[in-house]
Amino acid sequence: MKTNDKLIIRALNGETLPTPPVWMMRQAGRYLPEYKATRGVAGDFLSLCYNPELATEVTQQPIRRYGFDAAILFADILLIPQALGAKLWFVTGEGPRLSTITSQADFDALGPVDNIDAVLSPIYETVGKLSRELPSETTLIGFAGAPWTVATYMIAGRGTPDQGPALALIENEPAVFDALMEKITDATIHYMSRQIEAGAEVVKIFDSWAGSLKGDLFDRYSTAPAKRITAELRARHPDVKIIGFPRGATNEGYMNYARETGVDCVAIDSSVDTQWAADNLQKITCVQGNLDQTLLVSGGEKLTSETKRIVKTLSNGPHIFNLGHGITPDADPENVTRMISAVRDE
């Protein structure tokens, strides 16, 4: 199937479809028993990310099980910091840990963007394998973390509830912070460009912590980098489709992000009123979202009714059905089947 005939590409081109295409953030992951088995073979999370054979396998597992309209590359947003020279490891049950960037000396110790392929080449190999092996109707999505979100981890060395360390660095060492953001942005453009060259048809910018940026800071550190990334990728790859996800943004922030960045689609989190999105955001861009991911744990009739409500509310414009955030490890795989049946009215 030609790329432009695929359902997700049609939605990203602004087409209103009778049934929205569907995929899920973190659709390859710990809620699936087959994923757990493959991760056991890999030994640890990072080994799985950097093993093209196994990363291809876990990316395809939810496609085989559910028939999603897209597969998203299995990787992690913190591979870029590692490729730049930061130390990265994962603590079981707690998440990622990184060496920290809190001074000019820390920043100066990072390597050049030109060298990141030495670490990231297995990721491009995975993308290439997927582009050859996925079903012809399945869209391949690549991704990267947005510069702000990646920077918060590099500065704090871990996830934090309010991104306080990164906000403090903006206040106390603005030159260091701005230099770090520029380096991450340059690396992100290169990394995503290489994914596109390897076969990704769509790329997504995950700004998971955008909501911690208020007022002008949101414009400067979420919207502006996404605008630059989008422009640079389009200059290199005119046909690529780009999704942006400034999670936690205000309604005004989402609207401004859509207008300013030029992305083909804005993903919305579960806090966004779907009717507001239909009346406002969907008038200027494709909307992706926004089922509450906790419903895939609880299931039941509420899962079905909420899924159908979102589909109906966003049925008058371009829409890609997805969650408001990633599926959680305690989700029931059978609830995913129920959700997809509700989307497709099966």
pLDDT-derived band of residue 95, with 50, 70 and 90 as boundaries? confident
pLDDT-derived band of residue 334, with 50, 70 and 90 as boundaries? very high
Whole-structure pTM value: 0.97
Q: Is 80 exceeded by the pLDDT of residue 123?
A: yes
User: Yes or no: is domain 73-267 CATH 3.40.50.720?
Assistant: no
What pLDDT is recorded for position 49?
A: 97
| 3-class DSSP string for the chain | CCHHHCHHHHHHCCCCCCCCCECCCCCCCCCCHHHHHHHHHHCCHHHHHCCHHHHHHHHHHHHHHHCCCEEECCCCCCHHHHHCCCCEEEECCCEEEECCCCCHHHHHCCCCHHHCHHHHHHHHHHHHHHHHHCCCCCEEEEEEECHHHHHHHHHHCCCCCCCHHHHHHHHHCHHHHHHHHHHHHHHHHHHHHHHHHHCCCEEEEEECCHHHCCCHHHHHHHHHHHHHHHHHHHHHCCCCEEEEEECCCCHHHHHHHHHHHCCCEEECCCCCCHHHHHHCHHHCCEEEEEECCCHHHHCHHHHHHHHHHHHHHCCCCCEEEEECCCCCCCCCHHHHHHHHHHHHCC
Q: Is 90 exceeded by the pLDDT of residue 94?
A: no
Query: Taking residues 170-193, what's their average pLDDT?
Result: 98
What pLDDT is recorded for position 346?
A: 76
pLDDT-derived band of residue 91, with 50, 70 and 90 as boundaries? confident
Asked whether the beta carbons of 327 and 31 are under 8 A apart, the reply is yes
What pLDDT is recorded for position 237?
A: 98
What pLDDT is recorded for position 77?
A: 97
pLDDT-derived band of residue 3, with 50, 70 and 90 as boundaries? confident
Query: Taking residues 172-193, what's their average pLDDT?
Result: 98
What pLDDT is recorded for position 19?
A: 98
Query: Taking residues 32-61, what's their average pLDDT?
Result: 97
What CA–CA distances, in Å, run from 294 to 81, 332, 334?
Answer: 30, 10, 14
Tokens (6 digits) for 116: 């990141």
- Own/partner long-range contacts of 248-254 (Cβ < 8 Å, ≥24 apart): 248/209, 248/210, 248/211, 248/212, 249/210, 249/211, 249/218, 249/222, 250/218, 251/276, 251/280, 253/210, 253/218, 253/222, 253/223, 254/281
Query: Taking residues 221-231, what's their average pLDDT?
Result: 98
pLDDT in tens, 192-205: 999 999 999 999 99
What is the CB neighbour count within 10 angstroms for residue 212? 22
Work out the mean pLDDT of the chain and round it to a whole number: 97
Q: Is 90 exceeded by the pLDDT of residue 1?
A: no
CATH 3.20.20.210 residue spans of the chain: 73-267
CA contacts within 13 A on the Cβ side of 339: 34
What pLDDT is recorded for position 92?
A: 80
Q: Is 80 exceeded by the pLDDT of residue 59?
A: yes
Q: Is 80 exceeded by the pLDDT of residue 283?
A: yes
Query: Taking residues 120-147, what's their average pLDDT?
Result: 98
Asked whether the beta carbons of 41 and 54 are under 8 A apart, the reply is yes
Rounded-to-integer distance, Cα 94 and Cα 159, Å? 9
